[in-house]
C-alpha cells in the first residue's frame, strides 16, 4: 500500500512536471525577435503596430508585399528579405494565435 | 543537474524522492525549480531574465543581479547630450520584472563566480547557487591604453559618456558651460566597440545644439578607424545638409594618450590636439566579471560563445550575452542585438534544463536608429541566421540595409522602437 502511494505520488509529480511543460518551439523564438519592435507576444507599445490576434492571411500578405517591394516601407522590406516565405507564414500564424 | 534539482524541489528526504521513476521523469520532463542566475540587468540580461520566465512558463527560478536601482538606456542618450531629452526619459525601474514576471531582482554586485561549485558570490557577502549562469556584463574601458587617464581627476574631467548615466549628464553640462567659439573633440576607438553608429550620431546632436546656441563652435571627430563605421553616406549627407562647416571628420587618428590637465589629445602619428571639451571613448573589452571568470577567450577582450546556446566556449554552464561577446561577422554590439541574444539564450537554457532539443535554426534581426537632427533619424537593419556548417550567425544575403534618406517619419519610428524595446526588455 505504501509502495502504491509512492508510485501514485511520483506519477502525479511527473504529470505536473511534464503535462503543462511549455514547449520552446522554433516559431515562438523566431517571433520573439519581432517582439523587440512589435511588443512581447505581439502586443506593441504606442508608435508601432501590434500583431497579436491579427488575421493570419492578411499579415502574411502584408509581409510578402513588403518582401516583394509592392508595399513601400522604411525598413520592413529589408527585414522580410531575411526570411523564407514559409518562415513568414509560420510567424504570421503565431502572432494571429496570440491574445490581443 | 535535473535530477539533483528536481529532488531538491520536491523536498529531499520525502518518500517519493528516492524512487527511480523520479529521475526519469525529471530528465524528460521539465526545468521545474531549476535555478538560473543572471548577472547584469542591461538589454541582454534583463531580456534573458524575463524570457526565461516566459519560455519556461515560470518554472525556472530566475535571479537577476544588478547594482543599479533603475535601468538607464544608452540608446537615445545622445539626445540628452544634445539637450533634447532628460535622463528621466531614459530611466525605468526593474519592478515589472519582479511584479509581472516573478524575477527575483537582487541589487548587488557579483564579487566572484565559482564555475566548479556553480555558485555566485555577491559583493555584500551572500552566495547564490545556480544550475546555469547568464553573464551579461556589458563593456569595460581599457584605461591602460590611455596612461594619462590614470592621473587624479582625469576621468572626472575627460568624459566618455559611453555608459548611460551620470557621465551623460556631465557631458551635457560641459557643453553648456563651453563658451561660443569653442571646440568639442570626440574620439572613436578602433572597432569593435559598443554602438558603431553612436559616435556619429553624437556629433550630430552636439552640432545641432551648437547651431542654435553656440554657432561659432565646432565639432571635431577623431576616428581611429579608416572610415565611418556605420551609415556612412547618411551621416556625411546629414553633416553637409545640416551642419556644413561645423563638423570635421578625421579618420585614422588613434588616440594613444590624453593630458586631462591641458585638455590635449595625443595620437600615434598626428599632431597633438587641444579642445575646450574632450570626449574620449576609450578602447573596450567585456566587463570585469567576465574577465575574472576567464570567459574572455578572444584576445583577453571578448567572450567566445556557441551561437546555438550562448554558452561560453571556455566555461561550462555559463552563458554570455550582449556587448561582451566576440560577435559573429556583421553582428554589431547594439542594444537590439543584446535583446535578441537574451531571448535566444533564454530559449536554449530552458531547453537544456528540460532536456529538450535546441532550436535548429536561430534567426534574428538588428535595427539601429540614429538621430541626425532633433527630429530626423536614419536606420541600419540586418537579419542574421545560424549557419550550421560554420557554426556561427551570418547575415542573410539580400536582407538588411539603411534608410533611403533621413526623415521625421523615421524619427517617430525611432521612438516607437525605443518604447517597444524598453517594454519588451523590462515590462
Q: For B150-160, what is each residue's pLDDT tens digit?
A: 999 999 999 99
CA B111 to each of CA B42, B43, B114, B314: distance values in angstroms, whole numbers, following the listed order: 18, 21, 10, 20
Q: Where are the beta strands (DSSP E) in B196-294?
A: 218-223, 247-250, 255-259, 264-267, 273-274, 277-280, 284-286
In chain B, which residues have their Cβ closer than 8 Å to the Cβ of A79?
A: 365, 367, 381, 383, 399-400
In chain A, which residues have their Cβ closer than 8 Å to the Cβ of B25?
A: 10, 13-14, 17-18
With an 8 Å Cβ cutoff, are A22 and B412 in contact?
no
Q: Give residue B250's pLDDT.
A: 98
* CB of A1 less than 8 A from some CB of B: no
Q: Is it true that the peptide bond before B423 is cis, omega within 30 degrees of 0?
A: no
Could you tell me how many CB contacts below 8 A there are between chain A and chain B? 163
User: Distance between CA A11 and CA B245 in Å, rounded?
Assistant: 76
Q: What is the CATH architecture assignment of B142-284?
A: 3-Layer(bba) Sandwich (3.50)
Place of cell 523615421: B410
Q: For B175-200, what is each residue's pLDDT tens digit?
A: 999 999 999 999 999 999 999 999 99
Bridge partners (DSSP) of residue B219 are: B184, B247
Tell me the three cell numbers of residue B110. Answer: 557579483
User: Distance between CA B61 and CA A3 in Å, rounded?
Assistant: 31
CA B270 to each of CA B147, B224, B275, B283, B426: distance values in angstroms, whole numbers, following the listed order: 18, 11, 15, 19, 45
What average pLDDT does range A21-45 have in this prediction?
90
Q: Give residue A46's pLDDT.
A: 94
Q: For B274-325, what is each residue's pLDDT tens digit?
A: 999 999 999 999 999 999 999 999 999 999 999 999 999 999 999 999 999 9
Q: Give residue A25's pLDDT.
A: 87
Report yes or no: B289 and B315 within 8 Å, Cβ to Cβ.
no
Report yes or no: B344 and B310 within 8 Å, Cβ to Cβ.
yes
B274: three-class secondary structure by DSSP: strand
With an 8 Å Cβ cutoff, are A47 and B419 in contact?
yes
Place of cell 550582449: B322
Domain ranges of chain B: 2-140+286-358, 142-284
Select B2-140+286-358's CATH number: 3.50.50.60, 3.40.109.10, 3.30.70.980, 3.30.565.10.
3.50.50.60
Does the pLDDT value for residue A96 go beyond 60?
yes
In chain A, which residues have their Cβ closer than 8 Å to the Cβ of B403?
A: 74-75
Q: For B237-273, what is each residue's pLDDT tens digit?
A: 999 999 999 999 999 999 999 999 999 999 999 999 9
User: Distance between CA A57 and CA A71 in Å, rounded?
Assistant: 16
Handedness of CA B154, B158, B160, B161 (dihedral sign): positive
With an 8 Å Cβ cutoff, are A82 and B10 in contact?
no
Question: Which one of B51, B382, B427 has the shortest CB-CB distance to A32?
Answer: B51
Place of cell 533611403: B404
Residue B151 Cα, gap to closest chain A Cα (Å): 42
Report yes or no: A39 and A31 within 8 Å, Cβ to Cβ.
no
User: Distance between CA B322 and CA B337 in Å, rounded?
Assistant: 7
Instruction: Identify which of B141, B140, B73, B64 has the alpha carbon closest to the alpha carbon of residue B109.
Output: B64
User: Distance between CA A50 and CA A53 in Å, rounded?
Assistant: 9
Tell me the three cell numbers of residue B54. Answer: 516566459
Domain ranges of chain A: 24-96
User: Distance between CA B374 and CA B231 in Å, rounded?
Assistant: 18
Total-model pTM: 0.90
**Burial of B116 from C-beta contacts in 10 A (0-12 / 13-18 / 19+):** exposed
Question: A19-33, A54-68, B59-73, B246-260: lowest mean pLDDT where?
Answer: A19-33
pLDDT band at B31 (very low <50, low <70, confident <90, very high): confident
Q: Where are the beta strands (DSSP E) in B137-217?
A: 139-141, 183-188
Contacts of B248 (CB under 8 A, 6+ apart): B218, B219, B220, B221
Note whether B2-140+286-358 and B142-284 share their fold.
yes
What average pLDDT does range A7-30 have in this prediction?
55
β-strand pairing of B377-387 with B401-402: antiparallel
Bridge partners (DSSP) of residue B312 are: B305
Instruction: Identify which of B332, B339, B383 has the alpha carbon closest to the alpha carbon of residue B361.
Output: B383
Domain A24-96 part of CATH 4.10.140.10 = no
**Burial of A92 from C-beta contacts in 10 A (0-12 / 13-18 / 19+):** buried
Contacts of B107 (CB under 8 A, 6+ apart): B66, B67, B68, B69
Amino acid at each position: 500500500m505504501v509502495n502504491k502511494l509512492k508510485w501514485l505520488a511520483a506519477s502525479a509529480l511527473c504529470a505536473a512536471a511534464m503535462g503543462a511543460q511549455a514547449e520552446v518551439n522554433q516559431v515562438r523564438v523566431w517571433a520573439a525577435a519581432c517582439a523587440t519592435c512589435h511588443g512581447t507576444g505581439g502586443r506593441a507599445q504606442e508608435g508601432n503596430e501590434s500583431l497579436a490576434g491579427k488575421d493570419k492571411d492578411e499579415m502574411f500578405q502584408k509581409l510578402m508585399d513588403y518582401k516583394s517591394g509592392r508595399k513601400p516601407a522604411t525598413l520592413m522590406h529589408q527585414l522580410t528579405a531575411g526570411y523564407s516565405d514559409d518562415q513568414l507564414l509560420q510567424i504570421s500564424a503565431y502572432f494571429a494565435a496570440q491574445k490581443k | 543537474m535535473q535530477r539533483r534539482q528536481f529532488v531538491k524541489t520536491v523536498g529531499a528526504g520525502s518518500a517519493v524522492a528516492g524512487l527511480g521513476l523520479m529521475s526519469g521523469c525529471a530528465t524528460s520532463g521539465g526545468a521545474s525549480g531549476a535555478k538560473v542566475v543572471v548577472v547584469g540587468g542591461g538589454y541582454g540580461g534583463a531580456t534573458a531574465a524575463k524570457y526565461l520566465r516566459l519560455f519556461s512558463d515560470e518554472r525556472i527560478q530566475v535571479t537577476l543581479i544588478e547594482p543599479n536601482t533603475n535601468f538607464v538606456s544608452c540608446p537615445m542618450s545622445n539626445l540628452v547630450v544634445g539637450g533634447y531629452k532628460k535622463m528621466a526619459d531614459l530611466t525605468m525601474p526593474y519592478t515589472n520584472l519582479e511584479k509581472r514576471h516573478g524575477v527575483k531582482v537582487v541589487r548587488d554586485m557579483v564579487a566572484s563566480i565559482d564555475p566548479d561549485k556553480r555558485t555566485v558570490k555577491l559583493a555584500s557577502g551572500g552566495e547564490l547557487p545556480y544550475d546555469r549562469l547568464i553573464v551579461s556584463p556589458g563593456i569595460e574601458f581599457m584605461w591602460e591604453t590611455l596612461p594619462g587617464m590614470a592621473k587624479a581627476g582625469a576621468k572626472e574631467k575627460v568624459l566618455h559618456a559611453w555608459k548611460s548615466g551620470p557621465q551623460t549628464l556631465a557631458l551635457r553640462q560641459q557643453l553648456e558651460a563651453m563658451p561660443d567659439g569653442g571646440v568639442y573633440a570626440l574620439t572613436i576607438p578602433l572597432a569593435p566597440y559598443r554602438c558603431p553608429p553612436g559616435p556619429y550620431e553624437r556629433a550630430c546632436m552636439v552640432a545641432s545644439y551648437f547651431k542654435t546656441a553656440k554657432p561659432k563652435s565646432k565639432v571635431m571627430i577623431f576616428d581611429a578607424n579608416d572610415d565611418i563605421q556605420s551609415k556612412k553616406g547618411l551621416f556625411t549627407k546629414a553633416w553637409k545638409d545640416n551642419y556644413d562647416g561645423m563638423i570635421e571628420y578625421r579618420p585614422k587618428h588613434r588616440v594613444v594618450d590624453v593630458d586631462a590637465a591641458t585638455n590635449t589629445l595625443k595620437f600615434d602619428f598626428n599632431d597633438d590636439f587641444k579642445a575646450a571639451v574632450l570626449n574620449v571613448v576609450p578602447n573596450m573589452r567585456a566587463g570585469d566579471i567576465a574577465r575574472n571568470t576567464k570567459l574572455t577567450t578572444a584576445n583577453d577582450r571578448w567572450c567566445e560563445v556557441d551561437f546555438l546556446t550562448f554558452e561560453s566556449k571556455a566555461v561550462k554552464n555559463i552563458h554570455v550575452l550582449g556587448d561582451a561577446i566576440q560577435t559573429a561577422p556583421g553582428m554589431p554590439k547594439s542594444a537590439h542585438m543584446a535583446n535578441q541574444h537574451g531571448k535566444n539564450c533564454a530559449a536554449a537554457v530552458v531547453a537544456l534544463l528540460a532536456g529538450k532539443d535546441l532550436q535548429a535554426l536561430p534567426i534574428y534581426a538588428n535595427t539601429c536608429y540614429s538621430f541626425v537632427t532633433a527630429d530626423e533619424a536614419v536606420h541600419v537593419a540586418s537579419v542574421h541566421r545560424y549557419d550550421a556548417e560554420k557554426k556561427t550567425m551570418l547575415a542573410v544575403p539580400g536582407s538588411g540595409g539603411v534608410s533611403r534618406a533621413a526623415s521625421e517619419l523615421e524619427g517617430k519610428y525611432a521612438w516607437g522602437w525605443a518604447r517597444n524595446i524598453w517594454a519588451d526588455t523590462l515590462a
